[in-house]
Amino acid sequence: MDIKDKIYNEFQFFGLEGNYLLAMSGGIDSSVLFNLMLDLNLKFGVAHAQFGLRGEESEKDEAFVRKLCAENEIPYITEKFNVPEHMEREGISLQMSARELRYEWFERLLEHEQFDYLVTAHHLNDSIETFFINLTRGTGLRGLTGIDHNEKVIRPMRGVSLKEIENYADENHINWREDSTNAEDHYLRNRIRHHIVPALEELDVNFNQSFSNSLEHLKQDVELISDYIDELRNRLFIREQNHIKIEVSSLKEKKNAKAIFYLFEPFGFKHPKAVEKLLNSQESAEIRSENYRLIKNRSHLLLQEKSEKSLEKYVFHKINDIEKPIRLRFKKKLTLPEDFSSHLDFEKIKFPISLRIRENGDKFRPSGMGGQSKKVSKFFKDLKLSKIEKENTWILCDADDKIIGIPGLRWDESFIADKETNIWLQVEKLD
C-alpha cells in the first residue's frame, strides 16, 4: 500500500467530509501531508506556531508556510509565542514549554474556529524514537506503544516511515524547509534518530515494518489490560449517592501494584504506593489528586470528586419547603399531635433560619439524652458516619446560629415541643 492509500484510509475512518486543522511547521513531514490532503480534496486549514527560536530561519519557515497556503487558497493561522518566558514561569524545559504553548493554542482554535480535528504529521519514525526515549525513562507499557490518535488529534502518517515520506517528497517535487537543529545531537531524540535507528536499520532492512508490527502488538496488549481493568473496576467500585465505595480487602488481594495503578490512574492517582499506604492507614486518612479525594473509612476506601463548598449559609426568612441544599418539608399544626415529642416548638425558633455544614466547636443538646450537651463531631463519630457523610450533613440553625438540630438525625432538646407548646412544627427530611 503506497503512502497516499495509507493516508486516505486514515481520513476515511474520521470522515472525508470533515473540517481539519493541519499543524504545519514547514518541515518535510508536514509539507508532504499538506500535499496529500490537497490531493485528497480534504477541507482543511493550517496552523503555524511561530516560536522565533532560530531567528531568521524561523521567519523564513513562517513565510514559506504562509505562501504555500496562499497559493493553494488554504486558510492560514499563525501565532507567535514567547517560549523563554513560559519556561521560566512554569519551570519546564524548552521542548516541553513549546509543546504546551502550541497544543493549548491548537485547542483554542478547535473550539473557536469550528474545526473537527487537529491533524499532525507524526510518522512511524517519531513513534520509534518515542519508544526508545520512554524506554530509557523506565516507562510502563503504554509509553512504549508510540504516537497514536486521541480524542481530538489524528495522526494519519503514524504508519508511514520517514523513508517513504522522503521518497514521496522527491518523486512529487515537494518543497519543504529543513530545521537546522535537526542535525544537532543536543537532544536525546536527535541522538536516537542519528545513531540508534540507523544502526538497527543496518542490521535489518525490514526494521521499520517489524517495529511497526511490534507496536501494534503492544497496543493490543494495552487494550487487553484496559478491558480487564474496566471489568475489575466495574466489579469493585460501588457507586453510592455522591461517592464511590471500594472494599479494602478486595484491593489487598491484588498483589500486583500495577493493578492498583491502573484502577486509580483515571482519577489522577498515579503513585500506587501512596494508595497501598492508604489501605493500611488509620481511620479517615486521605490522599488527593487534582480532582479527586481518596479516603480510608474503616474497611473501605471512599472515592469522591472534589467540590468547592460555598462558605455562605443557606438562609430562609420564613417557613417554606426547602429544596436546596437538602429537601425539607415543614408542617405547622395548631392542635396537639399524637406524638408531639417528634415535633418542634415553632415559637421557640428565631428567624431567619439557616442551613450550614458543621463548624469546629459546634455543640448541641441531642434530644433523648437528658439535656446533656454534646459536640457535633462526637455525635457524628458515635453514629459512625464516614468523613464524606460528615462533610455533607447539614445543620439547621436559628437567627443566633444556635443549632436547632440535624435534620434526619436528631433535634436539639431546647427546641422540642412539649405540652405547653401552642404551634407544633413537623420537619421532614426527604430523600
pLDDT at 307: 75
Cross-strand pairs, 304? 293
Q: Which domains are delineated in the chain?
A: 3-203 (3.40.50.620), 220-305 (3.30.465.60), 314-429 (3.50.40.10)
Residue 309's pLDDT is 58
Residue 234 pLDDT level (bands cut at 50, 70, 90): very high
Q: Which residues are annotated as a binding site?
A: 25-30
Burial 298-311 (b: 16+ CB within 10 A, else e): eebbbbbeeeeeee
Range scoring the smallest mean pLDDT among 118-127, 268-277, 331-340, 384-393:
331-340
**For 69-78, how does the pLDDT look when each residue is reduced to its tens digit (9 = 90+)?**
999 999 999 9
Question: Across residues 242-263, what is the average pLDDT?
Answer: 88
What CA–CA distance (Å, rounded) separates 384 from 389?
9
The residue-averaged pLDDT of 285-309 equals 89
Res 328: pLDDT: 95
Grid cell listed for 413: 432538646
Q: What is the dihedral of CA 126, 128, 130, 136, to 10 degrees?
A: -150
Q: Does residue 282 surpass a pLDDT of 70?
A: yes
| Residues 375 and 363 sit within 8 Å (Cβ to Cβ) | yes
Known binding-site residues for ATP equal 25-30
- What SS3 state is found at 175? coil
What residue type is assigned to position 366 of the chain? P
Long-range contacts of 336-343 (CB under 8 A, 24+ apart): 336/419, 336/424, 337/424, 337/426, 340/417, 340/418, 340/419, 340/421, 340/424, 341/367, 341/416, 341/417, 341/418, 342/426, 343/416, 343/417, 343/421, 343/424, 343/425, 343/426
Q: For residue 281, what is the DSSP state?
A: S
pLDDT at 356 over 70: yes
Which regions of 104-158 does DSSP assign to beta strands (E)?
Answer: 117-119, 153-154
Q: Is the pLDDT of residue 51 over 70?
A: yes
Judge whether residue 310 has pLDDT over 60: no
Q: What pLDDT band is residue 268 in, cutting at 50, 70 and 90?
A: very high
pLDDT at position 235 is: 95
Cβ-Cβ contacts under 8 Å for 183 (sequence gap 6 or more)? 190
In this prediction, residues 308-319 reach a mean pLDDT of 76
**Closest-CA residue to 410 (of 341, 348, 351, 347):** 341
Please give the pLDDT value at position 59: 92
Q: Is the pLDDT of residue 40 over 70?
A: yes
H helix and E strand count, the chain: 15, 20
Three-class DSSP labels, 81-93: CCHHHHHHHHCCC
Alpha-carbon distances of 229 from 104, 150, 258, 293, rounded to whole Å: 31, 20, 10, 20
Per-residue pLDDT tens over the stretch 150-159: 889 999 999 9
Instruction: Classify residue 68 by its DSSP letter.
Output: H
Instruction: Compute the mean pLDDT over every residue in the chain, rounded to the nearest whole number.
Output: 91
Q: What is the mean predicted confidence (pLDDT) over 45-51?
A: 94
Instruction: Give the whole-angstrom CA distance, residue 94 versus residue 53.
Output: 10
Residues 238-250: pLDDT tens digits?
Answer: 998 789 999 999 9
Q: Mean pLDDT check: name the lowest of 6-20, 125-139, 233-247, 297-311.
A: 297-311
Which position has the higher pLDDT, 310 or 385?
385
Percentage of the chain exceeding pLDDT 70: 99
Mean pLDDT of 37-58: 91
pLDDT for residue 350 is more than 70: yes
Tell the burial category of 171 from Cβ atoms under 10 Å away from its Cβ (0-12, 13-18, 19+).
exposed
Mean pLDDT of the region 262-282: 90
Question: Confidence band (pLDDT; 50, 70, 90) for 316?
Answer: very high
**pLDDT at position 212, please?**
92
Tell me what the mean pLDDT of segment 25-44 comes to: 96
pLDDT tens by residue, 168-213: 999 999 999 988 777 788 888 889 999 999 999 999 999 999 999 9
DSSP 8-state code for residue 53: T
The order of strands in the sheet holding 244-247 is 237-239, 244-247, 300-305, 292-297, 286-288
Q: For residue 300, what are the β-bridge partners? A: 247, 297
Helix axes of 124-136 and 207-236: crossing angle, nearest 10 degrees: 60
- Residue 244 phi/psi, 5-degree rounding, is -115, 140
Instruction: Quote the pTM value.
Output: 0.69
pLDDT band at 376 (very low <50, low <70, confident <90, very high): very high
